[in-house]
């Protein structure tokens, strides 16, 4: 297992959970990267030179770039992050949707880049001070929605871009892919039929050759359709993996079991004890280059480990259905739009922030006076949203929201979390619903066919109606009920008090200790979302301590 880094113009592999390969040379360029190409045959056919059968995916990408530049990269369907040394320039390439991450920084030896933010921040000359704006973003979104990181001097390369970092410190960013709205007034039957064809191709592309495959199955329509199509298309065994907790919290296991039986696949249910979650919380947070406030991170890691232990090298998942086809997050925003009095995109962006229902309204009491003063010197959190929520490439509000979700939560939360946790387990997580062609087609489907009345992802459901029981297709989305408050009151109680009351947390001077203590005592009227807020703060502090930021 390896990740990669480039320092002083020298690309190399470093230890860490990843799939890095290289360095390779072609056309006077040297490249190192982490790459999985799903359409190798088509990529090879487009090249002018003959390559050996055992050519790696990083070499394929490098050759495509040598021959056609960013256009060659744009035609590749896959998961990749690539760093290319081109003379004195360093060229960074990240896949269309952000399946793999890549960071860069200015150091004493010039530009440096790495798939490991921990390694990059340790490079001499890198500004590893705490970026307080990232703290606000995390407490608002529960992840970092754009290029910023918690280190002042480290930036994340954005997906769908080729970024050329010049020796003089300047840079040029070239967009090789961005979804675009297309007016295609065909009826729903025609769109559903074409969507089904693309869904089957997206799943087939991601099936491992000659091996069994695992599928993460929650019982919702997205993971269920991936399970159903994998069972139909794969010639090797398919095993579905689901999570349960050792509490009386409502779950969806009944639906997951129904889908597994309907599809005729094996079904493995992993019960995650609260104590096991507490024991592995700090370790799991430390695996993430940027923290995410998702309480399913530890269960996701354990599920990937279970799949790996049973011999799987690839796990499919149903991630992407909500950001690509219109999940439940859009309805509150559409209702807001009907009744809002304040015109302008910034009011819409502010409502989008509020829709996350995290710690945005608590920031004045949650952060210290010094931290709040530092924040006043920074750009507002709405800045990252405004380009997507204003009238531009997307004309309808629903498509603007989908574009926002895709480029923020999709690229910086969903995909990166899956990639890090599966890589740490020695397997590769693949998301068919984030297929580039699928996304392009989603923006051809008229908005009224995606959100049909109050039925979300309607066209997606029509496309797979024959493959799943009607109970699955037509049931309202509920999501897994995660027993966060029970964990915080039980197995996580000691860890939470120890971490948030630690000398490191107090000395950092970031979080107001009075507010944190009040939250730990459950003072005031913070319920019922208090558990989620405390989870966010705990995750933040664990990550900062692991990466030694803001000491």
| Residue at token pair 């003063």 | 373
Q: How far apart are CA 548 and CA 219, in angstroms?
A: 39
Q: How far apart are CA 83 and CA 114, in angstroms?
A: 8
Residues 6+ away with beta carbon under 8 Å from 377: none
Burial class (CB in 10 A: 0-12, 13-18, 19+), 48: exposed
421 in Cβ contact with 436 (< 8 Å): no
Residues 6+ away with beta carbon under 8 Å from 526: 519, 533
Please report, in range form, the residues annotated as the binding site for L-glutamine: 57
Q: How far apart are CA 205 and CA 228, in angstroms?
A: 15
32 in Cβ contact with 106 (< 8 Å): no
User: Which helix H or strand E contains 333, and what residues bound it?
Assistant: helix 330-339
- 3-class SS of residue 366: helix
Please report, in range form, the residues annotated as the binding site for ATP: 216, 243
Q: How far apart are CA 383 and CA 406, in angstroms?
A: 16
214 in Cβ contact with 316 (< 8 Å): yes
Please report, in range form, the residues annotated as the binding site: 57, 216, 243
10: its two tokens: 């020298």
Any bridge partners for residue 84, and if so which?
31, 91
- At residue 138, φ and ψ (nearest 5 deg) are -65, -45
């Amino acid at each position: 297992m390896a990740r990669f880094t480039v320092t002083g113009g020298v690309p190399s592999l470093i230890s860490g959970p990843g799939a890095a390969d290289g360095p390779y040379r072609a056309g006077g360029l040297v490249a190192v990267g982490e790459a999985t190409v799903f359409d190798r045959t088509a990529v090879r056919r487009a090249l002018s030179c003959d390559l050996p059968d055992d050519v790696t995916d990083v070499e394929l990408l490098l050759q495509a770039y040598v021959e056609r530049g960013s256009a060659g990269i744009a035609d590749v369907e896959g998961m990749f992050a690539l760093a290319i040394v081109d003379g004195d320039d360093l060229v960074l390439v990240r896949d269309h949707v952000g399946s793999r991450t890549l960071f860069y920084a200015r150091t004493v030896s010039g530009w440096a880049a790495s798939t490991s933010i921990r390694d990059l921040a340790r490079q001499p000359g890198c500004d590893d001070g705490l970026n307080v704006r990232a703290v606000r973003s995390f407490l608002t979104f529960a992840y970092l929605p754009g290029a910023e990181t918690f280190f002042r001097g480290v930036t994340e390369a954005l997906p769908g871009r080729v970024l050329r970092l010049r020796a003089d410190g300047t840079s040029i960013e070239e967009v090789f892919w961005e979804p675009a709205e297309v007016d295609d007034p065909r009826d729903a039957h025609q769109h559903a039929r074409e969507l089904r064809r693309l869904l089957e191709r997206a799943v087939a592309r991601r099936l491992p050759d000659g091996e069994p495959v695992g599928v993460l199955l929650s019982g919702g329509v997205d993971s269920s359709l991936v399970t159903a199509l994998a069972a139909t298309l794969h010639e090797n065994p398919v095993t579905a993996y689901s999570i349960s907790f050792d509490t009386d919290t409502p779950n969806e296991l009944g639906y997951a079991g129904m889908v597994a039986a309907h599809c005729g696949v094996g079904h493995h249910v992993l019960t995650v004890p609260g104590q096991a979650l507490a024991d592995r919380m700090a370790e799991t947070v430390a695996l993430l280059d940027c923290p995410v406030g998702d309480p399913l991170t530890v269960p996701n890691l354990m599920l990937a480990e279970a799949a790996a232990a049973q011999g799987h090298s690839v796990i499919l998942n149903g991630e992407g259905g909500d950001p690509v086809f219109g999940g439940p997050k859009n309805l509150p925003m559409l209702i807001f739009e009907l009744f809002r009095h304040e015109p302008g995109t910034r009011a819409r962006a502010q409502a989008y922030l509020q829709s996350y229902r995290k710690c945005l309204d608590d920031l004045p009491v949650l952060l210290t006076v010094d931290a709040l003063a530092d924040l006043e010197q920074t750009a507002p959190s709405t800045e990252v949203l405004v380009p997507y929520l204003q009238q531009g490439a997307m004309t309808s509000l629903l498509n603007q929201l989908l574009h926002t979700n895709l480029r923020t939560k999709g690229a910086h939360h969903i995909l990166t979390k899956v990639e890090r946790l599966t890589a740490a387990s020695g397997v590769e997580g693949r998301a068919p619903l984030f297929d580039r062609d699928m996304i392009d087609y989603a923006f051809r489907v008229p908005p009224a066919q995606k959100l049909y009345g109050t039925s979300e992802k309607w066209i997606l459901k029509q496309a797979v109606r024959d493959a799943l029981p009607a109970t699955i297709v037509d049931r309202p989305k509920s999501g897994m009920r995660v027993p966060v408050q029970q964990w915080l009151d039980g197995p996580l109680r000691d860890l939470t008090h120890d971490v948030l009351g630690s000398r490191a947390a107090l000395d950092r001077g970031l979080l107001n200790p009075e507010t944190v203590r009040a939250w730990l005592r459950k003072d005031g009227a913070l319920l019922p979302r208090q558990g989620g807020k405390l989870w966010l703060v705990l995750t933040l502090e664990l990550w900062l301590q692991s990466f030694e930021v803001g000491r």
